Amino acid sequence: MKTLIIGSGGREHALAWRLAGESHEVHVAPGSDGIADDAQCHPGIDVNDNASIVRLASDLSADLAVIGPEAPLVAGLGDDLRAADIATFGPSAHAAELEGSKAIAKSFMARANIPTAHHETVRDLATAHAAVDRFVERFGVPPVVKADGLAAGKGVVVAETAAEARDALQRLMADGAHGGAGRTCVLEQRLSGKEVSLFVITDGTNARTMLPAADHKRIGDGDKGPNTGGMGAYAPAPVFDDSVAAKAQERIVRPTLEGLRAEGRPYVGVLFIGLMIDAAGDPHVIEYNCRFGDPEIQPLLFGAGDPVGEHLLAAARGELTDGMLAGQPALTVVLASAGYPASSHKGDVITGLDVAGRDPDVHVFHAGTRRDDAGRWLTHGGRVLGVCARGQTLADAHPKAYAAADAIRFDGKQMRRDIGARAVI
């Protein structure tokens, strides 16, 4: 199978590595220096240029296009590829609204009777500040503040005080911290429990669920500091037992897919469902995303036991069968550059990659790197590398990942020391 993957980060590297390992011909646009070790890259392509991507897919006679990032999906790249008769793994723009607008997603959840947190959508600061007071009065704690639009995973503030919630609203709505994405905000009831990342591969009707994963969003150990795009992830998440899985399928996965079909926007691709599992074992939806999460997809693909490419193609063709994607436990530790997430430092020399990759149960995925003319690896983004390890248990994978992560060095390296700690105790 000839596959074209759209994107350039750690998620796309994991996809390219996995599909190449299944003996598929893999192209990535634009790709990166790190991805080029596993696939043919097309660096001249802009992920936001739908016409160029469609032209490339047609010129390659691609059997399958897999769209990695969310912005092209929201902008209708999936529609344009399908209009050119290219089998595409990725939802339509209409279906991708579930990630493109948190307000739209919340409205859909209400119509489909999906269990989720109480929320209010606010479009000006005065209304937002009054809503903060209502949340504190009703729930005893301030709301979670979320930018309505796309903010690269950084548009969420879990406020500890009402003043912190108001400060977040000021930055998002008035100061334009994430451009137009935060002009409208969604305020949500703060749920308690354990978070799970559930990835559902679907052709709009049938679905294959991947192992339940969990990620670590905040920059510091103990979930301290600002949100990031993700500092590490592991799978499976122990809290997602058979009872929780059955509830999630019956109350969330099935009614979500049925609701989207009923509204004339069947979902084709991978649907990420961010869940909060409460003390009673009941799942609630925190958010939907319309693509594979990064870094969660790294341990999921590194540990996957079943062929992945055939399921992506079956979903794109409407030929998927229900089931699970089996796999072994795996864990990824993200190495970030100095200043992340507020900024990123580029050009720092990376060493130790050869040492980190010696263990066959360890693989390093490139997210923000480049090679210089001398062949040295340099930092080239906020999240630089994903150091992934697998084992018979998470307790087996954990020390392997950290041994490899410690072998890699660059100035200003940031990493959490508690990735997966809750699952291996």
Q: What are 270-320's pLDDT values in tens digits?
A: 999 999 999 999 999 999 999 999 999 999 999 999 899 999 999 999 999
Of 44, 313, 75, 42, nearest to 201 by C-alpha is 313
Distances (CA, A) of 78 to 48, 138, 165: 12, 42, 36
Q: Are 143 and 187 in contact (CB under 8 A)?
A: yes
| pLDDT of amino acid 146 | 94
* CATH number assigned to the domain covering 118-188: 3.30.1490.20
How many Cβ atoms are within 10 Å of 44's Cβ, its own excluded?
10
Distances (CA, A) of 279 to 2, 99, 373, 388: 46, 27, 54, 30
d(CA 273, CA 344): 28
Which helix (H) or strand (E) segment is 19 a member of? helix 10-21
d(CA 214, CA 206): 24
pTM of the model: 0.94
Assign domain 2-93 to its CATH architecture.
3-Layer(aba) Sandwich (3.40)
Which residues lie closer than 8 Å to 388 by C-beta, 6 or more apart?
14, 298, 299, 302, 330, 331, 332, 362, 363, 364, 365, 401
β-partners of residue 288 are 273
CA 185 vs. chain centroid, Å, equals 21
pLDDT tens string 308-351 = 999 999 999 999 999 999 899 999 999 999 999 988 989 999 99
Question: Which parts of the chain register pLDDT below 50?
Answer: none
Q: Are 253 and 273 in contact (CB under 8 A)?
A: yes
| pLDDT of amino acid 227 | 85
Return the CATH fold of 194-324. Answer: D-amino Acid Aminotransferase; Chain A, domain 1 (3.30.470)
DSSP secondary structure letter of residue 263: T
Return the CATH fold of 330-424. Answer: Glycinamide Ribonucleotide Synthetase; Chain A, domain 4 (3.90.600)
Q: Are 87 and 105 in contact (CB under 8 A)?
A: no
Of 371, 272, 334, nearest to 10 by C-alpha is 334
Question: What is the edge-to-edge ordering of all strands in the sheet holding 214-215?
Answer: 214-215, 232-235, 330-336, 383-390, 362-366
Q: Are 7 and 68 in contact (CB under 8 A)?
A: yes
Could you state, in order of their start, the residue ranges of all structural domains in the chain?
2-93, 118-188, 194-324, 330-424
Q: Are 263 and 92 in contact (CB under 8 A)?
A: no
| pLDDT of amino acid 152 | 74
| pLDDT of amino acid 88 | 98
- The torsion of the CA quartet 75, 77, 82, 86, rounded to 10 degrees, works out to 180
d(CA 271, CA 251): 15
